[in-house]
């Protein structure tokens, strides 16, 4: 099963990709996480991406396509993958078509998580993750069961992303509408798009996703 999870910042792509990964052993491939790792390691790619990410703009297509191409090569023959945050422009989608064809892989579904912009600002500014294992939480919608302790690993340190402030979120939403939304039409033309209601609760969105992938 090879999926694209599609939606604006805060739609729940990462939250749902991690759940599908755990339930089905499908690998989550998040370009945002890959870039944050490059930034943390101070690689040339990370140095190029850092300022763009902090300002909410997209990283150039050639940089992203190279990173994803490397990762996809390792996924052939495994349980499948969930692309989270990629493709984000029509040229990225066209490059992905070529990459998949060259590796004899194909997409099964492109799942669009449908949400309202305004709710995304609240979701993103309230998001935090466990510094030890990366489990995701929210100040209002997904608190740890025991205050200050990660449900998954018992860690007690949490972090917030530097681009999760209101000004940058609005830039990211603008970039989404200008550059990423047209990607949906690319996949509609291929008959691959399925929609789920991303304004529903986290468990209900998972249920709808499970229904799509069967």
By annotation, the residues acting in catalysis are 13, 88, 127, 161, 172
Paired tokens of 26: 């499908």
Distance CA 103, CA 50 (A): 30
Which of 141/158 has CB closer to ligand AP5?
A: 141
Q: Smallest distance, Å, CB 190 to ligand AP5? A: 19
- Residues in contact with ligand AP5 by the rule CB under 6 A: 7, 9-15, 31-32, 35, 52-53, 56-59, 64, 85-86, 88, 92, 123-124, 127, 136, 138, 141-142, 172, 198, 201-202, 205
Contact between 196 and 111 under an 8 Å Cβ cutoff? The reply is yes
DSSP state, residue 133: T
Which of 24/207 has CB closer to ligand AP5?
A: 207
Q: Smallest distance, Å, CB 25 to ligand AP5? A: 20
Nearest to 92 by CA among 8, 186, 211: 186
Cα separations in angstroms, 184 against 88, 104, 113, 166, 197: 10, 22, 11, 26, 16
DSSP state, residue 138: E
Nearest to 181 by CA among 126, 117, 109, 125: 117
Q: Smallest distance, Å, CB 6 to ligand AP5? A: 10
Which of 77/91 has CB closer to ligand AP5?
A: 91
Which of 66/188 has CB closer to ligand AP5?
A: 66
What is the number of the residue whose Cβ is closest to ligand AP5?
32
What is the biggest distance separating any 2 CA atoms in the chain, rounded to whole angstroms? Answer: 48
Which of 77/203 has CB closer to ligand AP5?
A: 203
Coil/strand/helix, residue 141? coil
DSSP state, residue 57: P
Q: Smallest distance, Å, CB 142 to ligand AP5? A: 4
Q: C-alpha 92: how far from its chain's center?
A: 15
Q: Smallest distance, Å, CB 152 to ligand AP5? A: 13
């Amino acid at each position: 099963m090879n999926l694209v999870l599609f939606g604006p910042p805060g739609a729940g792509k990462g939250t749902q990709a991690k759940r599908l990964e755990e339930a089905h052993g499908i690998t989550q491939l998040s370009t945002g996480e890959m870039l944050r790792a490059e930034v943390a390691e101070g690689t040339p790619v990370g140095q190029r991406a850092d300022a763009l990410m902090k300002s909410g703009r997209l990283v150039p297509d050639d940089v992203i396509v190279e990173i994803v191409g490397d990762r996809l090569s390792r996924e052939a023959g495994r349980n499948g993958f969930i692309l989270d945050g990629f493709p984000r422009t029509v040229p990225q989608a066209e490059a992905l078509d070529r990459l998949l064809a060259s590796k004899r892989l194909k997409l099964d579904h492109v799942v669009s998580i449908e949400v309202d912009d305004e709710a995304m600002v609240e979701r993103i500014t309230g998001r935090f993750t466990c510094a030890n294992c990366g489990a995701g939480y929210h100040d209002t919608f997904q608190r740890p069961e025991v205050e200050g302790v990660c449900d998954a690993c018992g860690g007690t340190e949490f972090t917030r992303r530097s681009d999760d402030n209101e000004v940058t979120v609005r830039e990211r939403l603008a970039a989404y509408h200008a550059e990423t939304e047209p990607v949906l039409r690319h996949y509609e033309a291929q008959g691959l798009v399925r929609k789920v209601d991303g304004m529903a609760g986290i468990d209900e969105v998972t249920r709808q996703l499970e229904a799509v992938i069967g």
